[in-house]
Amino acid sequence: MKPLQRTTFFTAALLLLTAVHHVYGAIIYHTHWRLHVLFVAIPVMLLVYLLDRQLRKHPDNNLLLVGYLLSVGLFPLLTIGLYEGLYNHLIKNIVFLATGNNSFFRMLFPPPVYEVPGDFWFEATGILQAFIFYPLLTSFSKMIKLAVRYREQIL
């Protein structure tokens, strides 16, 4: 699979998982504000898909490439993968297991925005976002390197 295909695949996987994770969290924690992610994740996923298709048809279009890289980099990669998956879930669970629900934990993860780990599926889907972040970051980085050197190899 080429970097464009891989990046689009991991972006879609991350955004779909994020949608499921936030719907589930909104239901079990009665925090319907979590549903706001759907209004960004679904349009971004569609945008990335459409830009992917257009890049395959027009591989020399720099505007499409920049749009694609920004669409993947800003929301899926940084906001969801790095912040939501890595910090909000993976690091939160590690700190909780190491310290418990003490003042240090609550300082890093203050309620009501953060939940004390208590629901397996909510935490598992959140942590899984961090694990999808890594291959997405790897593929995205490779795509940028190849775009700079050998543009035709990314498509």
* pTM as predicted: 0.91
Q: Given a cut of 90, is residue 16 above it in pLDDT?
A: yes
81 SS3 class: helix
The tens digit of pLDDT for each residue in 49-97 reads 999 999 999 988 889 999 999 999 999 999 999 999 999 999 999 999 9
Residue 27 CB neighbour total at 10 angstroms: 13
- In terms of DSSP H, where are the helices of the chain? 3-28, 38-57, 62-72, 92-99, 103-108, 120-149
